[in-house]
Chain A
């Protein structure tokens, strides 16, 4: 167990261009499950690889347990990593794959054997220890990759999108397994993903990254409820938060032809108004009135798309099992004050 501290960490590749990562600062606590979330190319994997020691740090500092790690080679950082491709050694048995990292550390044979068997028991890999990776299913390979990290008993576990090569059903069950594993080991884990469901369900805290920078850090539900930027607001949630151009004037928000009361005091001028599809409630005299242009029944819920007069983008509404209005019908909605988010139209930063 350990703390991991990043202080204005940055990565700039030789040959110029925008930095891949800049100004990333956070501290992962002992035993915390910390998720780096973002779209591909946002710098989350590069950040993880800098923590691992696979990528040189060009700016800022990285510390594990308070010790500066920038110049320490990967093998001396006492970290273990699970790769997206699993990176199992194809010419070695499952047993040897797990033992490979221990042999380098001049550990007694008996201890290696004990550790491999314990990890295999935790992951249910005992029947497969003699097999080569190509004779395993995708899920089994994934578990070997995790096992290879467990046997090392490292200070920090790093996961680089470990579930993205699994099919949907397996992904859900493996997610649960990893959560249980984290509870059991109580280890510090840093987990990179582009999947918001993984981030929301697994993370103690999540860090959303965008264009190489941190957009927001916080507990999953806090981030979901109070997104700091339009990027975060639009990235989390499915369907994502509605983000519509609006104007603040005379203590009110004008959204097309509709007018809403202000949830809080904000300076006058153009803003981006955000409201989550599930926070919109149909009421007969609601201030937001529009025409239903699409209905998507999903069984457990129904997603409606509305066109509001004077607003270019469509408004998404999440309703219950039955649609409150049919295609082409008009509907009136209201959103509670605390469900209305206002963002600066230019910077995308939260105003309220």
Chain B
């Protein structure tokens, strides 16, 4: 017999929550509010002036901003599907009882543990025109005419970076999917076998639908991660060449700390708009995933 938890003992609760509250209010909640406040002001080192919606109007006409939005959204839409679908393939490969599956699982997970700075530099070298691995392999298989400076060409820079995040995150997704596969009740799969389902049917009709909630969760997680991406771009291309890899994050950073405009109000307006967009996406996607899960069980 469990009785309900005791009524609030504020004397005990407050000391436990106080430090976290201070951290949260001071270094998370206040900065968010301050940024929103910034966005309707001109914020110069020694002067702050109310400008109303001027930054937002300017933003509407800012081609670079829209370019950054386009790049970021492309990244956030393409990468999740690449990561999760390759991850599913790999998870199924390991699920099929291959030797050394445990070690492979740990090994494939490794890239995600590396700093974007490290990853960025390594991949700049891989994409190096003269001696990078990408071109070296192309030349080795006789496709040398395809060789190019992958990060230096406007058409290929963004796809090249998407390859990098896919390289980084696929292992992570694979581990989660593998765990979901292993968590499936064996009776369900055995039942499918008794129903004379082939591997393909078993996969598409039984296993994938059962782990669909996990798949959706991973897609959302990957999507949100790409909406925030900064480090990798900053290390490799700084948004270039010709804005072709500019993301919202790098643009905010540039406008706040790189350009000599000194105004923190305008980048705050970008950040505010992006904050609203990301949070609404998350809210909608979470709601959709939840609804999906209700259908599943």
Q: Which A positions have Cβ atoms within 8 angstroms of B?
A: 13-14, 20, 40-41, 45-46, 49, 54-56
Q: Which B positions have Cβ atoms within 8 angstroms of A?
A: 1, 3-4, 6-7
Q: Which residues from chain B contact A55 at a C-beta distance below 8 Å?
A: 3, 6
Docked pose: A13 CA to B6 CA in angstroms: 10
Q: Are B6 and A56 in contact (CB under 8 A)?
A: yes
Q: Are A45 and B7 in contact (CB under 8 A)?
A: no
Docked pose: A56 CA to B7 CA in angstroms: 9
Q: Are A14 and B3 in contact (CB under 8 A)?
A: no
Could you write out 12 A-B pairs with CB less than 8 Å apart?
A20-B3, A40-B1, A41-B1, A45-B1, A45-B3, A46-B1, A46-B3, A49-B3, A55-B3, A55-B6, A56-B6, A56-B7
Docked pose: A45 CA to B2 CA in angstroms: 9
Docked pose: A29 CA to B126 CA in angstroms: 85
- 12 more A-B residue pairs beyond the given contacts A41-B1, A45-B1, A56-B7, with a C-beta to C-beta distance below 8 A: A13-B4, A14-B7, A20-B3, A40-B1, A45-B3, A46-B1, A46-B3, A49-B3, A54-B6, A55-B3, A55-B6, A56-B6
Q: Which residues from chain A contact B1 at a C-beta distance below 8 Å?
A: 40-41, 45-46
Docked pose: A49 CA to B5 CA in angstroms: 12
Q: Which residues from chain B contact A49 at a C-beta distance below 8 Å?
A: 3
Q: Which residues from chain A contact B6 at a C-beta distance below 8 Å?
A: 54-56
Q: Which residues from chain A contact B4 at a C-beta distance below 8 Å?
A: 13
Q: Which residues from chain B contact A46 at a C-beta distance below 8 Å?
A: 1, 3
Q: Which residues from chain B contact A14 at a C-beta distance below 8 Å?
A: 7
Q: How far is the CB of B26 from chain A (nearest CB, A)?
A: 33
Docked pose: A45 CA to B4 CA in angstroms: 12
Docked pose: A305 CA to B1 CA in angstroms: 34
Docked pose: A46 CA to B6 CA in angstroms: 12
Docked pose: A40 CA to B1 CA in angstroms: 7
- The chain A residue sitting closest to B1, CB to CB, is A45
Docked pose: A14 CA to B6 CA in angstroms: 10
Docked pose: A41 CA to B7 CA in angstroms: 20
Complex A-B, nearest 6 residue pairs according to Cβ-Cβ distance, in ascending order: A45-B1, A40-B1, A46-B3, A14-B7, A55-B3, A13-B4
